[in-house]
Each structure stands twice: as C-alpha cells, then as structure tokens.
Amino acid sequence: MLVPSNVLAENTLHINEVLVHPASGDKEWVEIYNPEGIDLTGYWIDDDDNFTEDSGNSAKKSLATITEEPDPFHPVIEVSSLFNNSGDHIVLFDTTGSIVD
C-alpha cells in the first residue's frame, strides 16, 4: 500500500506581508518570510521589476536596515514613500539583482 507523504510549503525566502498607504504619520513596511535565517543585508525591495533601472515610483530600498526583532523568521523593514497608493509592484531582489519574489 502506498501512502502519500505530506506536502509542505517550500522553505524559501519571500515577501510575507505588506502595509501600503498607512494612516497619517505611520510608515509603510514590508515583512519577509525568512525560515532559513538568510543574511538579508545584500537584498533589496522595489516597486518595479527591473533591478538596474528605477522606473517605479521610488528608488529601491536596501534590506541592510531590516529589523529582525522580535521574530528573526519574519523580519520587517519600514520604508517611507516607496509605493504609490493606486497600485504598484512589490519586488524582492537578491544580492545579484535577480527577483526572489
């Protein structure tokens, strides 16, 4: 008798949660799912899908300032004015400029 094994979600780095267009005085933020504890200092987020050209609303933001507390598997970066409020992309780039998510 064959019994199928459980299928689990991949343990890969990806954008987990985002706050765009917060209440006045608050900042936008992006939460990353990082189950393997990858060093994110060379990673970037942007509002367009081209690493070498900034055709979106704002320049890409380095994840060097990402906050890993209190949960290192769900680090958060606060940004200001990265996303426009009428629809935008949220892209995660790795250290080579390739799209991760």
Token output for 6: 């459980």
Question: Could you tell me whether strands 61-62 and 44-46 are parallel, antiparallel, or unpaired per DSSP bridges?
Answer: antiparallel
Give the global pTM.
0.78
Per-residue pLDDT tens digits for 15-61: 999 888 777 778 888 899 999 989 999 999 888 888 888 766 678 88
Biggest alpha carbon distance in the chain? 61
